[in-house]
Structures are given as structure tokens and as C-alpha cells.
Amino acid sequence: MTQQARRNPGAGRTKNRITSVTRNGRPYPVASDNRAWGARIVDGGLVVLLTATGFTLAAVLVSSGGLDSDLGLMIGLGVYPLVLVFLGVLYGCRCSPGQLLFDVVSLRAWTGRRVGVWRGAWRYLGVGLAPLWVVVGIVWLVLFILSIFDSAGAGDPGSIGYSEPVAVVRRRLPPGSSWV
């Protein structure tokens, strides 16, 4: 072992990074990070724009009386996952608008095939819904901590709180006893 290899164990080795993908016998070089992130940012902006448009359209229809409020709420909240699935299918089958704009495409590294409908849709759903679950989890944690420190039900027998004692009782009276 040389002196250089002892000082730097990674010297002389290259990273296991994919440099090109072969599709239909033709090698495609891996896109730069700037292009990949640019496509992701454009796709994220498009998700926000389409979701805001759908939500606004549902709100306008509800306020003008052309749509029931419950149906408008379902449409307004359902637009976000539908936009995610639509763009995920585009990402998996062909290319998303951001990829089209930045001239990149996502392919499987080993086979060179497209990502596929299901993988693209689930990837977009997972990435798009993860922040919502994080926000819901943080809100739940804050409310849970506040409810632990809330002592409103401690002295009031009419309220139910976490500090109220629990008693285990029998369903029937023992023989020979009466209700007093």
C-alpha cells in the first residue's frame, strides 16, 4: 500500500455515479444538477399554479351559487392530488413540463426504459403529500402537548380531562346489598 493510499483511502477510486444511460442502443449523458433542479422547480410551480386555479375556480362557483358548498369543498381539496397524479403520469410516461422545458427526461438507469405510470404517479404523490403529513403531525403534536398541560378539567367534576381519576366497578351489585 502506498503512502498516498494510507492518507486518503478514497484516492484513485471514482465514485459509483452513473455517467450515461443507454436507451435503444444510444447512450444518453446524465443531465447536470442545474437542469434537473430547474425541471423540478418548474414542475413544483406548475403544481401550485394548477392547484390554486382549481381551488379558486371552485370557490368562485360556490360564491356565485353555481355549485353546492360541500361539492365545491370536495372539488377544491381534490384538485391537489389530481394535479399530482396527472403530472406524475406525464413524468413517468413521457416527460413533465419542467423536463420538456429543460430538455431532460427521467429513465431507469440500468435498463434505459421510462420510469412508468405507477412509479411516476406515486413519486409525485409522495413528494407532494409529504409536507402535508409533516404539517398535520406538527399540529397534532402541539395540540397533544397543550392538552397535557391543560388543567381545565382537574377540579371541575362536570368536565372530562386527562387528570380525572378512573374507577373500575362491577356491573352488578353483590348479593345481599342494595342501592343506597
Q: Is 139 inside a domain boundary?
A: yes
d(C-alpha 180, C-alpha 47), whole Å: 68
C-alpha atoms less than 13 angstroms from C-alpha of 84 in its C-beta half-sphere: 16
| pLDDT averaged over every residue in the chain | 81
Q: What is the largest CA-CA distance in the chain?
A: 95
50 and 90 Cβ atoms separated by less than 8 Å: no
d(C-alpha 105, C-alpha 112), whole Å: 11
Q: Is 22 inside a domain boundary?
A: yes
- For residue 124, what is the enclosing H or E element? helix 117-149
Task: Indicate the pTM of the whole model.
Answer: 0.66
Number of domains in the chain: 1
Q: Is 119 inside a domain boundary?
A: yes
Q: Is the pLDDT of residue 8 over 60?
A: no
129 and 84 Cβ atoms separated by less than 8 Å: yes
Q: Is 156 inside a domain boundary?
A: no
5 and 96 Cβ atoms separated by less than 8 Å: no
Q: Is 160 inside a domain boundary?
A: no
Q: Is 175 inside a domain boundary?
A: no
Q: Is 133 inside a domain boundary?
A: yes
pLDDT of residue 1: 46
Q: Flag the least confident range among 33-42, 88-97, 154-163.
A: 154-163
Q: Is 157 inside a domain boundary?
A: no
- In this structure, how many other beta carbons lie within 10 angstroms of the beta carbon of residue 4? 9
What domain range includes position 106?
13-149
